[in-house]
Amino acid sequence: MEKPKILIVDDEVEILKVLFKTLEDDFEVVTSSRAKEALQMIDDSVQIILSDQRMPEMTGSEFFKAVRDKHPQIVRIIMSGYSDMNALISSVNDGEIFRYINKPWELQDLLDTLQLAAVKYKENISHAKLVDENKHLIERNREVATRLTQTMEELKRVQSELEKLNKKS
């Protein structure tokens, strides 16, 4: 079974090391100590991003807003050792985070949250596929409706001509 890929972003390198060692058995883990660098690392294989809120280049909220705009299917989890209500509100509203994790974290809570995030990612992908299929079906229905309208108009024209011929005979 393929491991879910998680990108961890935190300016504290020691936290990245601890999380890497903690999660490497269950996840394909990639890390970055810089949010701007992390934005460049995101590709279609990343399923979950776990990011610190307070970082020097940009906040976790700003980072997640940029992620959401380009990769809405990725599940975003923010963590912080500070209880900044405005930052939390911004994360929820702008970055549409999945969960908020306090530092220091409880290991089982972190693992449970990441497993739920992996399930949520699969749901996001399924939903995106259904939306695409629905758009395709709507377009296909429009095409069929257009052809049906054209066929009905042609039938009315033929019927009118037949009625004219019947009157003459």
Report, as an integer, the average pLDDT of 125-143: 96
pLDDT at 76: 96
Residue 8's pLDDT band (boundaries 50, 70, 90)?
very high
pLDDT at 81: 80
Domain count, the chain: 1
pLDDT tens digits, one per residue of 29-75: 999 999 999 999 999 999 999 999 989 989 998 999 999 999 999 99
Residue 138 lies in a domain: no
pLDDT at 166: 86
Residue 46, domain extent? 5-124
In whole angstroms, give the CA distance from residue 101 to residue 94. Answer: 17
Report, as an integer, the average pLDDT of 10-17: 96
Residue 71 lies in a domain: yes
87-101, 106-120, 123-137: the lowest-pLDDT one? 87-101
Report, as an integer, the average pLDDT of 100-116: 93
Residue 44 lies in a domain: yes
pLDDT tens digits, one per residue of 111-123: 999 999 999 999 9
Cross-strand partners of 77 = 50, 99
Report, as an integer, the average pLDDT of 96-122: 93
Residue 38 lies in a domain: yes
Residue 90's pLDDT band (boundaries 50, 70, 90)?
low
What phi and psi, each to the nearest 5 degrees, are found at residue 69? -65, -35
CATH number at residue 74: 3.40.50.2300
Residue 120 lies in a domain: yes
Residue 154 lies in a domain: no
Residue 100 lies in a domain: yes
Residue 161 lies in a domain: no
Nearby residues of 51 by Cβ (< 8 Å), 6 or more positions away: 8, 9, 10, 35, 38, 60, 63, 64, 76, 77, 78, 79
Closest CA to 29 of 12, 37, 40, 17: 17
Residue 96 has pLDDT above 90, yes or no: no
